[in-house]
Amino acid sequence: MEIAQNILLTIATAATPLLIAAIGELIVERSGVLNLGVEGMMVIGAVCGFAAAILTGNAWIGVAAGIAGGALLSLLFGFLTLSLATNQVATGLSLTLLGIGLSGLIGEGFVGKAGVRLPTLDIPVLTDIPLVGRLIFGQDPIFYMSIALTAGVMWFLFRTRAGLTLRSIGDNHKSAHALGIPVIRYRYLAVMFGGACAGLAGAHLSIVYTPQWVENMTAGRGWIALALVVFGSWRPWRVLAGAYLFGAVTIGQLHAQALGFGIPSQLLSSLPYLATIVVLVLISRDRRLTTMNTPASLGQPFVPDR
Amino acid sequence: MNDVGATSSSPTLLKVEGISKTFGELKANDSVNLDIVPGEIHALLGENGAGKSTLVKMLFGSLQPDGGTIFWKDQPVVVTNPMQARALGIGMVFQHFSLFDALTTAENIALSLDEKIAISTIAERARALGDAYGLPLDPNSVVGDLSVGERQRIEIVRCLLQKPELIILDEPTSVLTPQEAEKLFETLFQLKSEGKSILYISHRLEEVQRICDRATVLRHGKVVAHCKPSEETPSSLASMMVGADVDAVERASKEGPEGDALLEIRDLNRAAASPFAVPLTAISLAVKAGEVIGIAGVAGNGQGELFEAISGEVLQKAAGEVRLRGSDVGRLGITQRRRSGAAFVPEERLGHGAAPTMKLSENLLLSRYRTDAKAFLGSLGVIRNGAITKATKRIVEEMDVRKSAEDPEAAALSGGNLQKFIIGRELDRKPAVLVVNQPTWGVDAGAAAKIRQALIELARSGSAVLVISQDLDELFEVSDAIAVMHNGKLSVPLPIAEATYEKIGLLMGGAEPGHASHGVELGAS
């Protein structure tokens, strides 16, 4: 049974960065902005987090640096798409390319160095409860942050006036502007929240998941996070379910490889991506489901008339 | 200064002095003056593009004036945003509703209230206020599922909840049935009797004469007249608005024997394309050579869906659901339908009727290189520029399209001129069947008359013309018979001699078609 707990723990660790990045992007998309640069912001968060942790010897400073790195890069995206009204898809794609290149440059001197790991929670007695102790009371702090973040975003979106305003902007930015809602300001804040989340998700990879720096270490997780937002049809708890499903698929294929199933490892590694495609196809078949939940002004540039 | 003294010595609630606004080269507002006293309904009259919307946007703080002063109760004010306007006591009901489809009625109302009140309280207040003014609404309904009339009620209730002293209504009746408009007027009179002022924007003259105390007329951004509508005639108001007499559209009566049915729709059905769209149910209609059939209806009752089905943007399940000149085309695409002699003008000019960033000549080629390949393409598909330029020129002259350059981009033309070009482009093919959706939406009176005349002439030359429009005046002007679309169903066409605004209005509001056919029998007997 100890094996089962270990498997569940690894699933949670694999799912956490997906969940955090996806929840951040969910807020961005709910405000009507499509930021395809999640992968780039994540990898910048990973390298900034890793470097700051090594240089200061403090993993928490690393986490903060990861968040700051992601937020800073998203600010560039915000400036281009919100203030200059550039095409969001093209800008987001270039943000990913920029992030990957820049992280390689920053991380050049850190390749192969041993990183600083964020300690897991250890509460005497509670953590030692058999079967579930480590699962509930013995994980890394970012895991708990990810759960709190999901609950917080849910509460914000559906229980607060600011959340209602954010949703209204995503639904129709022209109407929102006509009512005097500061569309651009809300979107800047949403974009930076998304960037901070992507940065945190990246820092989780390089400080908790595998405390080392490898170029391009996000390995497509940013894209999965983007797909998860659609998968969860812009609902936080569905995104959480999706993140754990994909975490399980990722871990499952590792175990399958270890057990030596007669399936080529390349095919197994591609499972999460294939699953993304299958899920997207299934979801987009139900048009009512997608259109009811899709922020209607998603991806459209907004230029207020003056 | 006490309140009584302030009101007796200064009767104006809002006064605008010399306000101006320039967009690029265009002077949208040029030294506009306006004053509104408490308890009056004041009309702001003008054609599309005269600057009415620009003026009220400045009053509501969505736009900033370049010059001039706004006085609110004799104090100069600078309205920097809508929140501030609401705080002053100015409320606005928008023409293109500023509602959010995916949110509930109560949530929509909450978004425009600046105080932070619980949604449940807002829902109660909205319901109570709606009942008091004869504007019933359900706070928990999702706006996307509601009709246009219901949406407008939400807008008005939302505005009244802010307890405004001045209510601005931007073209409120353009989306209503005549009966719904009557109800709106009752609400307005009730508000007026309570001492509230209303700025009523419209280009419908009968309405303005009936309900407005005073009027300010705008033309090309300038105030051309202040008047009392009750002392004017519709034609004197119209000539103030347009600056010249508008040619009346002449509809020669149909002559000769009944023509063949060139466009036939037989039991056409279509599932709803999106959660907020209407399904089409058992639609049948025949348009004969030589006649114009009009389709009336409040926006969003399936007219757009019907247009897409006829034009071939959406294919039918059975080939026989749409027939052109006697052959089944239900399974054929838009190009093949065009090749069999039909022409289509969609509602949306930019992006659907024309590619905005392409030149007029390129737009002409785009829509016709498949149907008139011989005229415009040489051997091996090489474009014959000479022929295209000549055809573009011909259309521009024929339809009197006014443009700033030799061959401008479509987006550089004003809405009316682009619409004239698009209609001209289709007429140039001399189509046997023409289907038009909203032919003169947002087009100035002169251009509208030109377009309507062209539609009638095409029909009289032996073509079948189907006009879908929300503008009842237009339909009565051009049609030989009018059918009404309601909730995805189409009524039997009413011959124009028997059609009245009242009958059509009832059908638009969803009265049973049987009721109307009863009326037809009465009219015929």
* Closest CA relative to residue B270, chosen from B282, B262, B259: B282
A303 Cβ under 8 Å from any chain B Cβ: no
Q: Do B82 and A175 touch (CB under 8 A)?
A: no
Q: Flag whether B253 is in a domain.
A: no
With beta carbons under 8 A apart, name residues in chain A contacting B276: 291
Winning range, highest mean pLDDT, from A179-188, B108-117, B247-256:
A179-188
Q: What pLDDT digit, counting tens, does each position of B442-463 carry? A: 677 778 888 999 999 999 999 9
Confidence class of residue B50 from pLDDT cuts 50, 70 and 90?
A: confident
Query: Containing domain of residue B322, as a range?
Result: 259-341+432-447+457-525
Cα of B72 to nearest chain A Cα, Å: 20
Domain edge (last residue) among B211, B242, B273:
B242
A260 Cβ under 8 Å from any chain B Cβ: no
Q: Flag whether B5 is in a domain.
A: no
Confidence class of residue B144 from pLDDT cuts 50, 70 and 90?
A: confident
CATH number, domain containing residue B102: 3.40.50.300
Is B246 a residue whose pLDDT tops 80? no
Q: What pLDDT digit, counting tens, does each position of B425-440 carry? A: 999 999 999 999 999 8
Cα of B292 to nearest chain A Cα, Å: 37
The mean pLDDT of chain B is 86
List the single residue in B with minimal CA-CA distance to A289. Answer: B275
Q: Do B83 and A167 touch (CB under 8 A)?
A: no
Q: What are B363's two structure tokens? A: 């737009």
**How many structural domains comprise chain B?**
3
CA distance B433 to B420: 18
The mean pLDDT of chain A is 90
Size of interface A-B (CB pairs under 8 A): 65
Q: Flag whether B252 is in a domain.
A: no
Statement to judge: residues B212 and B313 lie in one domain: no
A168 Cβ under 8 Å from any chain B Cβ: yes
| pLDDT of res. B150 | 84
Which range, of A238-252, B90-104, B504-518, averages the lowest pLDDT? Answer: B504-518
Statement to judge: residues B462 and B370 lie in one domain: no
| pLDDT of res. A249 | 84
Q: Do A180 and B97 touch (CB under 8 A)?
A: no
Q: Do B98 and A305 touch (CB under 8 A)?
A: no
| pLDDT of res. B2 | 39
Cα of B40 to nearest chain A Cα, Å: 25
Q: Which candidate in A167, A179, A289 is best for mutational testing of the B interface (most B CBs within 10 A)?
A: A179
Winning range, highest mean pLDDT, from A258-267, B127-136, B252-261, B303-312:
B303-312
Statement to judge: residues B329 and B352 lie in one domain: no
Q: Any residues with CB less than 8 A from the CB of B198 and at least 6 apart, and which?
A: B40, B41, B42, B166, B167, B168, B169, B188, B191, B192
| pLDDT of res. B415 | 76
User: Of residues B101 and B434, which shows the higher confidence score?
Assistant: B434
Domain edge (last residue) among B212, B242, B272:
B242
With beta carbons under 8 A apart, name residues in chain A contacting B61: 180
Statement to judge: residues B96 and B172 lie in one domain: yes
Look at the pTM and tell me if it is higher than 0.90: no
CB B444 within 8 A of CB B416: yes
Statement to judge: residues B209 and B152 lie in one domain: yes
Statement to judge: residues B465 and B332 lie in one domain: yes
Q: Flag whether B1 is in a domain.
A: no
Q: Flag whether B254 is in a domain.
A: no
Mean pLDDT over residues B198-227, rounded? 90
Helices B360-368 and B385-399: angle between axes, nearest 10 degrees: 110
Statement to judge: residues B358 and B437 lie in one domain: no
User: Of residues A240 and B257, which shows the higher confidence score?
Assistant: A240
Mean pLDDT over residues B385-405, rounded? 88
Q: Which CATH fold topology does A2-293 show?
A: ABC transporter involved in vitamin B12 uptake, BtuC (1.10.3470)
Q: Flag whether B160 is in a domain.
A: yes
| pLDDT of res. A290 | 67
Task: Give this complex's ipTM.
Answer: 0.84
pLDDT above 90: percentage of residues in chain B: 52
CB A29 within 8 A of CB A229: yes
Confidence class of residue B524 from pLDDT cuts 50, 70 and 90?
A: very low
Which range, of A40-44, B179-183, B427-431, averages the lowest pLDDT? Answer: B179-183
CB B164 within 8 A of CB B134: no
Mean pLDDT over residues B52-76, rounded? 92
Statement to judge: residues B310 and B438 lie in one domain: yes
A175 Cβ under 8 Å from any chain B Cβ: yes
